[in-house]
Amino acid sequence: MSINVVEIRDLDYAVNGNQILEKINLQIEAGEFVGIIGPNGAGKTTLLRLLLGLIRQTSGQVRIFGLPPAQLGKKREAIGYMPQRPTFDRRFPLSTLDVVNMGLVTAGSLGCPLTRKQREKARCSLEQVGLAALQNRPFSRLSGGEQQRAFLARAICREPLLLLLDEPNTGLDLPTQHNFFNLLQQLQHKYNLTVVMVSHDLVAIARFAHRLVCINRTMHVHGKPLDVLNSPHLEKAYRCEFDVLFGRERG
């Protein structure tokens, strides 16, 4: 019997009367890789923030592991999160391992030193993404692709069941993006991760995801990647941005 890791029913979210998301319904089973696509300002990052419990829906239901995000308690540690590429002050002396260690800090452990077991988890995560040899290198000296792998290691160091990623390949060249997707797919298969990833790269995400969900305030189309990419509803969701993405001009 399939288990829904994520369940969203009739989700609405508005800010000061401005409707950001409307009537979103979505179920994600354990072990699925789901790509969230849509134009800029469509509400994709907002959807991830709702799943994380950082903000609360105006109406409808959100359930993670069967519970509202605000009631997850210790189960929150079963969620790994990789936000849009954060910026670091290059003058701040963080090592690659320091960045990964941040993923082990919780609200209840602030100010407390990491345990030996936690430090070993961080090193293991770096090994999983191929950065074990660079654990002591200043983070600012890593390449863009290496930094993204370090952020991925930070997201998986608590051995999550659900991994949320918000446009992790922004600013990376095509070979580096491809390598990142391959690594993510390997980790998903190895640990049976449920992956929800926001992406602007329709072609790349379609190669790796089991399903695509296209939103632009509301859900326009969802299903198998090829079905979504060939759906007339995709152009409606992207409007003029669709033509820019595929290099087409309107007649």
CB 72 within 8 A of CB 64: yes
Q: Could you read off the pLDDT tens digit of each residue along the chain, which spans 251 residues?
A: 567 999 999 999 999 989 999 999 999 999 999 999 999 889 999 999 999 999 999 999 999 999 999 999 889 989 999 988 666 666 678 899 999 998 887 655 555 777 888 889 999 999 999 999 999 999 989 998 899 999 999 999 989 999 999 998 887 888 888 889 999 999 999 889 999 999 988 888 999 999 999 999 999 999 999 999 999 888 888 874 544 444 444 33
Task: Round to whole Å and give the CA distance between 166 and 7.
Answer: 19
In a domain, 127, yes or no: yes
In a domain, 129, yes or no: yes
What residue numbers bound the domain in which 219 lies?
4-245
Sheet architecture: strand order including 59-64: 18-29, 4-15, 59-64
CB 7 within 8 A of CB 169: no
CB 33 within 8 A of CB 46: no
Residue 106 confidence (pLDDT): 66
Residue 250 confidence (pLDDT): 37
CA distances 196 to 145, 165, 208, 236, Å, are 20, 6, 12, 23
CA distances 31 to 19, 59, 160, Å, are 31, 28, 12
Instruction: Specify the CATH number for the domain of residue 132.
Output: 3.40.50.300
In a domain, 208, yes or no: yes
β-pairing verdict for 162-166 and 18-29: unpaired
The tokens for 47 are 């959807």
129: closest CA among 90, 103, 93, 110?
Answer: 103
Distance, CA of 62 to chain centre: 17
In a domain, 39, yes or no: yes
In a domain, 241, yes or no: yes
The tokens for 49 are 């923030």
Task: Round to whole Å and give the CA distance between 187 and 135.
Answer: 19
In a domain, 251, yes or no: no
- Domains held by the chain: number: 1
Burial (CB count <10 Å: 0-12, 13-18, 19+), residue 148:
buried
In a domain, 250, yes or no: no
Task: Round to whole Å and give the CA distance between 227 and 28.
Answer: 18
Task: Round to whole Å and give the CA distance between 49 and 92.
Answer: 28
Residue 89 confidence (pLDDT): 64
In a domain, 239, yes or no: yes
Task: State the pTM of this model.
Answer: 0.88
